[in-house]
Amino acid sequence: MDRQSAQVVICGAGIAGIAAAYHLSVRRGVQDVLLVDERPPMSLTSDKSTECYRNWWPGPGDAMVRLMNRSIDIMEELANESGNLFHMNRRGYLFATADPGRVEDFRAAAEEAAALGAGPLRTHSGDPQDPPYRPAPAEGFAGQPTGADLITDQTLIREHFPYLSEKTIAVLHPRRCGWFSAQQLGAYMLEQAKAHGARLIQARLDGVDVREGRVQAVRLQGADAPTRIDTENFVVAAGPFTKAVARMLGVDLPMYCEYHAKIAFNDHLGAVPRHAPLLIWTDPQRLPWDDEERALLAEDPETRYLLQEFPSGVHARPEGPADSPVVLILWTYHTEPMEPVFPPPGDPHYPEIAMRGLATMIPALREYFKRPPRPTVDGGYYAKTEENRPLIGPLPLKGAYVIGALSGFGLMAAAGAGELLAAHVTGADLPDHARWFLLERYQDPEYRELLKDWGSTGQL
């Protein structure tokens, strides 16, 4: 068996592992960081995302807003130093509704986000005293407002978002939000980490050697021969396999996986404008079928579910440069926990469900119902805790750490989460919000009491 050593070994070369390696080597000066993954970097779930980011998070507490604000700060620093190599924009998220009862929900969500540090709420009701609404540019992120704009003025909605359903009565536009190229961000951080001494090995983790409650080494199975890496610091950053890797240490992490799919299609009709923000329909709905389709679906027990009410949350955005025809659509209507398997299971009706659901928000998409474009379907697993907050910090074993349970926010949180992880490993000072992401929070009676009435950390 080949024998080597490393100061820190990180299991997983997705965005979380790469961010941890970047912060350890580039910003903390750790000389010998080793990334280990049996797959190429950024190739499991880190390339399955919509690549969006937001500082828009509910409570309790301001930990998620603070984590995301810091993560976005770091991404903007990296964008500036790289010449925005990863095409970061700040178009925002646009929540839309046709339900008058949702308007106050929008207002309450924006006021809560503002109180937690996401930025101020601006309302646009048509009153002459309203502040002016600043549309978001398609490219770049500098000089843009934070907070959110709540628009109930129908003239203003029609002026700036004419492609939305005429039934839309209100939109909420959080502004420190947008998207970026995850592959290019990951490649840039990995390149910088390597330039500061980090290494990458493509190998499978076979086990972790522990003696007297402390990590001693990891055992790898590579293409050539088994390898033992002596190390006193081991980081679990294995995405949907984080729970399985932690079991090698005798640690049972309180997390599970959900499968989330998306489709990409060529919008040759231009139904979704190329300058649009991330678009989110916040109302539950029944899919738009004609009478003949409805009758056929009702006959088959396997398709009757297509006539039921579907949850809120169908969302979409344009993908690629201005001349690209590609649009992404996502809609998670199944959230049951499952074991991560590859290739993941899929609903054969998902592309049509997603297209029809989005057509409720963007009626021009109905033109595709009879001759739908050929979609590309992919997706990945959200690795989650019950309250959907990450695990970042030490495990109950000396020298063992975790950066995981990053759910659907791994790409946007990675820069900030990697910084926190590096601070734990090197013994640096921690921000106050770091305690909200420790595994030991579940041993706190006050936290367990808080969980009883906790809604999922997510969107509206």
Per-residue pLDDT of the chain (460 residues; tens, 9 = 90+): 789 999 999 999 999 999 999 999 999 999 999 999 999 999 999 988 899 999 999 999 999 999 999 999 999 999 999 999 999 999 999 999 999 999 999 999 999 999 999 999 999 999 999 999 999 999 999 999 999 999 999 999 999 999 999 999 999 999 999 999 999 999 999 999 999 999 999 999 999 999 999 999 999 998 777 899 999 999 999 999 999 999 999 999 999 999 999 999 999 999 999 999 999 999 999 999 999 999 999 999 999 999 999 999 999 999 999 999 999 999 999 889 999 998 888 889 999 999 999 999 999 999 999 999 999 999 999 999 999 999 999 999 999 999 999 999 999 999 999 999 999 999 999 999 999 999 999 999 999 999 988 875 555 6
Cis peptide before 343 (omega within 30 of 0): yes
Tokens of 424: 């734990």
Instruction: Tell me the DSSP string of 131-149.
Output: PPP-PPPSS--TT---SEE
427: left (phi over 0), alpha (psi -120 to 50) or beta: left
295 Cβ contact partners less than 8 Å away, ≥ 6 residues apart: none
* Residue 390 three-state SS: coil
Q: Shortest CA distance to 49 belongs to which of 236, 224, 240, 202? A: 240
At how many degrees (to 10) do helices 63-82 and 410-426 cross?
100
Helix axes 63-82, 182-195, angle to 10 degrees: 70
- Reported as a single tens digit per residue, the pLDDT across 335-365 is 899 999 988 888 899 999 999 999 999 999 9
Domains of the chain: 2-51+182-254+385-451 (3.50.50.60), 93-178+257-384 (3.30.9.10)
* Burial of residue 199, with CB atoms counted within 10 A of its CB: 0-12 exposed, 13-18 middle, 19 or more buried: middle
CB 404 within 8 A of CB 253: yes
- For residue 454, what is the DSSP state? P
